[in-house]
Amino acid sequence: MRDRRRSRRPAALLAAAALAFGTAACGSGSGSARNDDPNTLEVWTRSNPDPAATYERVFAAFTKKTGIKIDYQPVINFDQQLQSRASTKDLPDVMINDTALMGSYQGQGLLKPIDPASIAGHDQITGKTWSSTVGIDGKHYGIPYSRQAQTLMIRKDWLQKLGLKAPTTWQEMLSVAKAFATEDPDGDGKADTYGMVVPGSAQNGYAAWWGASFLWQGGAQIIEPDGKGTYRAAMDSAAAVHTVTWMKDNLFCGDNGVTQPGALTAVTSTATNFQDGNAGMYMTGPYNIATFDTTPGKDKYEVVPAPAGPAGADVLADGENIYFGARTGKTKQEQALAAFLISPEGQKLAMTGKNQPVVRIPVNSTLDAAKVRDDARWSVVQKAYEDASQQFPNAPDFAPIKQDTADALNAIFTYCGGDVRSQLGELNETLAGDLKDQDLLT
Amino acid sequence: MTATVPAPAARRVFGVLGKKAVVPWLFLAPGLLLALVFKFWPMAKGIWLSFFDVRPFLGDQWIGLDNYTRVLADHRFQDAIGHTLVLGLGQSLGAILLGFALALLLEGQARSLKILRTAVFLPAVTATAVVGELWRLMYYPTSDGLLNSGLHLLGLGPVQFLDNPDIALYSTMAMGIWIWAPYNMVILLAGLAGVDRSLYEAAAMDGVSLWQRLRYITLPAIRPALMIVLTLATIRGLRVFTEVYVLTGGGPAGSTDVWMTRAYTLGFTRNDIGGASAASVVLLCVTLLLTVMVNYLRKRGEAR
């Protein structure tokens, strides 16, 4: 009995191995078939269904114009999907995703370098905007597509009811927030309103993304270039300690109701208090304008520049770049698509329509956001981007830096008894370690 | 590619063993194949990658055990071990106890019990993401939230279920128990159905108390079912991920970060696939070890 059982094993292994080889061969065959068509580009964007509809319109116009087909994939968990595609060494041809990810992608070798001169219409993008796509080795790795800066969305009707003005400084913002929380601006007789919405979770680095504007306004930096191509961690500066202490004491550990309940575990998709009509301020990107026009309603809120801190009113600027996947072999078609996307026609298409716009501030300098949309609020955003904004440094792999900063900020805001200076000191050491991992530490 | 089946070799093997030996394997082949492609191959790949600095487009670099030392030395992973153990143990034991209580209460043939059992089983078949959203609403930290409005009536609260780093882990645990108790209930119900009724009757005649009946009849009789539940719960408890990810994302201040959420962050937010693989391999080894141990204890118990 025992002998017989043992002798079955080879048969089983053989059968299994044969079947496995069969499927493996089929798998690779069908995978390459889709990408072999030279006239079809696989394009990925990180989009929900609503903005994806805008992209579809843009790509349809491109196909009509050039005959190049687009296999469009809106991907919500973009980076997870991209990592698994990278492991098969078969990337999408063109990707449109956040500016802050360029260093990370380039560091992994996922991107083709780009010569700006090879993109038709490249001269309509300003030198300053182009400079934001220069990688660590001095080459360009992305083509600017859309830019934005954070602004303050604030409930106009609540301000009027309480006889207040839109805040222009941190102090004013704090008093408005307290008034929103305590003086019943929605008039239902219940204490169910909050000052401002904060996506303060460390998940996906949200705390750092939202907190960056405050850091800039307080005169702090997360990492600083030293002019020699390397960086130093800067979160232990006096300005950083002062800023983070102010945020902690006033927004998270001060009076109840200044921020929405659950702020420290909220990500942007769960921080819906502004739409829900129970929070009065939200510092966020302009893509939300379309959403907020429906709820709470276009007449109920206004878009104003961010209140200034001790060092100014700079906000976080970010946006999307067009990236070409490494080793895809369809450079000509990719360049044609990029040229269309940055052309006035391509940009206008992506800025208008009934769905969420995918180009916020156009990178094409011949266009004006407020004029294209016939909406003066967009000039507030454009002005913030042009005059008072800073991006995350684009050359290093910023993903670990952002995540570590978010982890630390979230912890500082959670434990009200902690010592900010020593906690930021620890963060600074972690950041120095991140830079060292990339051989970028001064 | 159908010709890949090495026909002569196969025929020789088939000839030696005869049809009888091959047929069962043919029936098993689809399952084996699926396991191979979707389980064992990715697992082997994961173990392989854990020794590399993974950069698919620049060439992976062999770095030996560096990933392992980095993961094991990271204080956030060390914190995560504690959270994983507390959450895994609490959630497993809680779910087994509650599952056992539910099974005792809902055992029987009456139609009303069947309906109740179905209702109670619902959490186990609901998508965890949906459950997470539901519990986020129930845990809403003002008196508008379901749980807090209840506490408000009693003059208590509001409790920051998810935003207080001292409570968040236990809030997650409560949700985990709610999800997994009905699952355990079903396995234990099957065990209870197999208990010899005559023993209960004999016990009733001897006039034993409820507790004695549980301790000396029910528990020994459902021991195999309990062991299955325990093994499954141990494995599940250690690789807990979805419950935490949908409810708190590991926050606030990392107070609910468990081993797998840490590995996920490392792999997909920091793009360190090698490190994430190493973390997963460590978990695999620990789980394997624990499963073998539970099995050993069970066998020793049975032998006794």
Distance, CA of B64 to CA of B52 (rounded, Å): 7
Are residue A124 and residue A216 in the same domain, yes or no? no
Q: In this predicted structure, which of A45-54, B4-13, B15-24, B141-150 has the lowest mean pLDDT?
A: B4-13
Are residue A190 and residue A237 in the same domain, yes or no? yes
Establish if A202 belongs to a structural domain.
yes
Establish if B161 belongs to a structural domain.
yes
Two structure tokens written together for A298? 């276009």
Establish if B64 belongs to a structural domain.
no
Instruction: Calculate the average pLDDT of chain B.
Output: 87
Establish if A24 belongs to a structural domain.
no
Establish if B27 belongs to a structural domain.
no
Number of domains in chain B: 1
Are residue A312 and residue A323 in the same domain, yes or no? no
Are residue A343 and residue A365 in the same domain, yes or no? yes
Asked if residue B5 has pLDDT above 70, the reply is no
Are residue A322 and residue A311 in the same domain, yes or no? no
Select the more confidently predicted residue: B184 or B144: B184
Select the more confidently predicted residue: A414 or B60: A414
Establish if A7 belongs to a structural domain.
no
- A10 lies within 8 A of chain B by CB: yes
Across residues A80-99, what is the average pLDDT? Answer: 90
pLDDT band at B10 (very low <50, low <70, confident <90, very high): low
Are residue A308 and residue A404 in the same domain, yes or no? yes
Sign of CA pseudo-dihedral A198, A201, A203, A209: positive
Across residues A86-112, what is the average pLDDT? Answer: 91
Establish if B94 belongs to a structural domain.
yes
| pLDDT at residue A435, as a whole number | 94
| pLDDT at residue B179, as a whole number | 92
Establish if A407 belongs to a structural domain.
yes
Establish if B72 belongs to a structural domain.
no
CA angle (B175, B177, B182) in 5-degree steps: 115
Q: In this predicted structure, which of A8-17, A112-121, B265-274 has the lowest mean pLDDT?
A: A8-17
Q: Give the single-character DSSP code of B257.
A: -
For residue A339, what are the domain limits?
37-148+318-391
Report phi then psi at B176, rounded to 5: -60, -40
Establish if A90 belongs to a structural domain.
yes
Q: From B165, which residue of chain A is nearest by alpha-carbon distance? A: A414
| pLDDT at residue A144, as a whole number | 96
Establish if B14 belongs to a structural domain.
no
Set of chain B residues whose Cβ sits within 8 Å of the Cβ of A263: 163
Asked if residue A328 has pLDDT above 80, the reply is no
Is A156 within 8 Å of A294 (Cβ atoms)?
Answer: no
Q: In this predicted structure, which of A106-120, A229-243, B1-15, B197-211 has the lowest mean pLDDT?
A: B1-15
Number of domains in chain A: 2
Are residue A137 and residue A158 in the same domain, yes or no? no
Distance, CA of A17 to CA of A24 (rounded, Å): 10
Is A116 within 8 Å of A140 (Cβ atoms)?
Answer: yes
Q: Could you write out the DSSP letters of every residue in A114-127? A: B-GGGSTTGGGB-H
| CATH code of the domain covering residue A127 | 3.40.190.10
Establish if A10 belongs to a structural domain.
no
Across residues A190-210, what is the average pLDDT? Answer: 92
Are residue A385 and residue A264 in the same domain, yes or no? no
Are residue A122 and residue A178 in the same domain, yes or no? no
Establish if B246 belongs to a structural domain.
yes
Establish if A44 belongs to a structural domain.
yes
- A19 lies within 8 A of chain B by CB: yes
Two structure tokens written together for B258? 């468990």
Are residue A373 and residue A226 in the same domain, yes or no? no
Q: Do A265 and B163 touch (CB under 8 A)?
A: yes
Across residues B13-31, what is the average pLDDT? Answer: 78
Asked if residue A309 has pLDDT above 90, the reply is yes
Across residues B286-292, what is the average pLDDT? Answer: 88
Set of chain B residues whose Cβ sits within 8 Å of the Cβ of A327: 57
Distance, CA of A354 to CA of A363 (rounded, Å): 21
pLDDT in tens, A122-163: 999 999 899 999 998 999 999 999 999 999 999 999 999 999
Q: Do B140 and A262 touch (CB under 8 A)?
A: yes
pTM score of the predicted model = 0.83
| pLDDT at residue A36, as a whole number | 66
Beta bridge pairs of residue A42: A71
| pLDDT at residue A344, as a whole number | 96
Establish if B108 belongs to a structural domain.
yes
Establish if A89 belongs to a structural domain.
yes
- B1 lies within 8 A of chain A by CB: yes
pLDDT band at B163 (very low <50, low <70, confident <90, very high): confident
Asked if residue A84 has pLDDT above 60, the reply is yes
CA Rg value for chain B: 24
For residue B206, what are the domain limits?
87-303
User: Looking at A58-172, which runs of residues are DSSP E strands?
Assistant: 69-74, 94-98, 143-149, 151-155
- B142 lies within 8 A of chain A by CB: yes
| pLDDT at residue A24, as a whole number | 37
| CATH code of the domain covering residue B224 | 1.10.3720.10
Across residues B58-85, what is the average pLDDT? Answer: 90
Across residues A323-337, what is the average pLDDT? Answer: 91
Are residue A270 and residue A163 in the same domain, yes or no? yes
